């Protein structure tokens, strides 16, 4: 009997910091996400999430994360509880959820063009 293939969701995370010049890095974001999931759902939740940080852009302050489809609501809760990154006050929100990485790439491109039109640096 064939095994059912695991389905994933890709999330576009936008990071907003109180200090515009705050230094962000991939390791700190990954650590914050991991610790938040671990604190809320324990080690079993962390394993169930199958979370992986795929893309991180520190200039544009966004990230792309992959997580298990059945863990998406729990992941939203874990992200909502993160208030500090690299000893800087920060807010992370989920800008887009997609079933494919292609959908997320389209959202990233539309985000960048939106920011250029409005003259925003964040």
DSSP H stretches of helix in the chain: 26-49, 72-80, 101-118
pLDDT by 10-residue block (mean), the chain, 122 residues = 85 90 87 94 93 91 94 95 88 93 88 62 50
How many other β-carbons are positioned within 10 Å of the β-carbon of residue 56? 20
| Domain contains 38 | yes
Q: In this predicted structure, what is the pLDDT of residue 47?
A: 93
41: domain range?
8-118
Q: In this predicted structure, what is the pLDDT of residue 120?
A: 53
We report the CATH number of the domain holding residue 72 as 3.30.70.3250
How many domains does the chain divide into?
1
| Domain contains 2 | no
| Domain contains 44 | yes
* pTM over the 0.75 mark: yes
| Domain contains 3 | no
R_g of the chain, CA atoms, integer Å = 15
């Amino acid at each position: 009997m064939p095994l059912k293939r695991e389905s994933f969701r890709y999330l576009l995370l936008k990071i907003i910091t109180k200090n515009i010049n705050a230094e962000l890095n991939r390791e700190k974001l990954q650590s914050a996400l991991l610790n938040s999931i671990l604190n809320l759902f324990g080690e079993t939740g962390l394993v169930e999430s199958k979370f992986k940080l795929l893309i991180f852009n520190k200039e544009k302050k966004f990230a792309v994360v992959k997580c298990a489809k059945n863990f998406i609501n729990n992941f939203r809760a874990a992200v909502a509880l993160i208030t500090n990154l690299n000893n800087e006050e920060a807010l992370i929100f989920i800008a887009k959820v997609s079933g494919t990485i292609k959908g997320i790439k389209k959202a990233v491109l539309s985000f960048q063009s939106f920011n250029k039109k409005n003259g925003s640096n964040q």
